[in-house]
């Protein structure tokens, strides 16, 4: 019994995940797998195929969130004001706050918070790639046979500390970049809180807000990245249009 042609399967997996909407190629790729489905895979071939799939999934995730509006127009991961600033949004209809244009100030900050996260997200790709390269045979089979978010859980355990270390300085730089209308996130935040605090200092019902954005945006950016990664993992496992699930089962079953 001959062994499965690993390069063909690796190429098939990568192409079908990356361009799964192309109906012309799908029958060809399915035929390749169908012809070799009864040939047993070695452990190393399983790991190789899974790593290729994970590279596609992580690259897609990073590419999506690092583009303009990757965070801002995705309600699942959109970054809002920090919890400490909830009092500002809760009181945006306060007459004194409305007089200083508080709603626009809030919107300006939220847009820039998300632009900062998008700007820093490109740093995730090499960290994910390193985790994929170091994946053991046991890790690969655990992911393959695990739950819908098994790969995401693996990446969290292997990369969270590195992502925090890599993201924080990048987030800090991004917060100081004039990413929108030549105004940085920190500048917009300072304008919002300074104007709000002027009112709050003379109000019995409001309290001043003083928050450093570095840690907050770093945490939310990483949280959003993992949410998108989990979404991509489920897509790769289950998307019926891509037919990925059937092919992965035939190759790795």
Find out whether 10 and 248 touch, Cβ atoms under 8 Å: no
Average pLDDT over residues 213-226: 95
Find out whether 175 and 119 touch, Cβ atoms under 8 Å: no
Q: How confident is the model at residue 236 (pLDDT cuts 50, 70, 90)?
A: confident
Q: Over the stretch 75-106, which tens digit does the pLDDT of each residue have?
A: 999 999 999 999 999 999 999 999 999 999 99
Distance CA 160, CA 176 (A): 24
Which residues, listed in sequence order, are joined to residue 180 by a DSSP beta bridge?
183
Average pLDDT over residues 227-245: 72
Tokens at 14, concatenated: 């990568």
- With a cut of 90, say whether residue 242 has pLDDT above it: no
What pLDDT sits at residue 35? 55
74-107 burial, b for 16+ CB within 10 Å, e for fewer? Answer: beebbbebbeebebbeebeebeebeeeebeebbe
Tokens at 86, concatenated: 């909830």
Find out whether 172 and 214 touch, Cβ atoms under 8 Å: yes
Candidates 112, 118, 121, 110; CA nearest to 80 is 110
Candidates 11, 62, 245; CA nearest to 148 is 245
CA 181, 185, 190, 196: dihedral to nearest 10 degrees?
Answer: 80
Candidates 222, 2, 167, 200; CA nearest to 91 is 200
What pLDDT sits at residue 123? 92
What pLDDT sits at residue 244? 47
What pLDDT sits at residue 185? 96
Distance CA 239, CA 253 (A): 18
What does pTM read for this prediction?
0.76
What pLDDT sits at residue 237? 74
What pLDDT sits at residue 5? 52
Distances (CA, A) of 120 to 5, 63, 163, 167: 39, 12, 11, 6
**Residue for token digits 């909830």?**
86
């Amino acid at each position: 019994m001959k062994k499965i042609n690993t390069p063909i399967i690796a190429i098939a997996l990568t192409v079908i995940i990356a361009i799964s909407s192309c109906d012309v190629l799908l029958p060809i790729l399915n035929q390749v797998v169908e012809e070799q489905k009864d040939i047993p895979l070695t452990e190393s071939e399983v790991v190789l195929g899974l790593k290729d799939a994970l590279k596609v999934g992580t690259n897609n995730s990073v590419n999506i969130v690092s583009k303009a509006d990757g965070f801002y127009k995705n309600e699942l991961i959109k970054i809002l004001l920090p919890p400490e600033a909830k009092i500002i949004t809760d009181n945006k209809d306060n007459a004194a706050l409305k007089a200083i244009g508080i709603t626009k100030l809030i919107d300006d900050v939220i847009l820039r918070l998300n632009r900062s996260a998008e700007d820093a997200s490109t740093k995730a790709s090499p960290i994910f790639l390193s985790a994929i390269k170091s994946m053991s045979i046991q890790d690969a089979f655990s992911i393959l046979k695990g739950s819908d978010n098994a790969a995401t859980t693996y990446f969290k355990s292997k990369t969270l500390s590195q992502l925090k270390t890599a993201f924080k300085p990048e987030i800090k730089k991004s917060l100081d970049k004039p990413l929108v209308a030549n105004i940085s996130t920190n500048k917009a935040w300072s304008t919002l809180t300074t104007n709000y605090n002027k009112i709050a200092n003379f109000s019995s019902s409001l309290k001043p807000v003083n928050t450093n954005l570095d840690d907050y945006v770093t945490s939310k950016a990483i949280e959003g990245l993992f949410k998108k990664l989990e979404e991509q993992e489920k897509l790769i496992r289950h998307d019926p249009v891509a037919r990925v699930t059937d092919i992965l089962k035939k190759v790795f079953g």
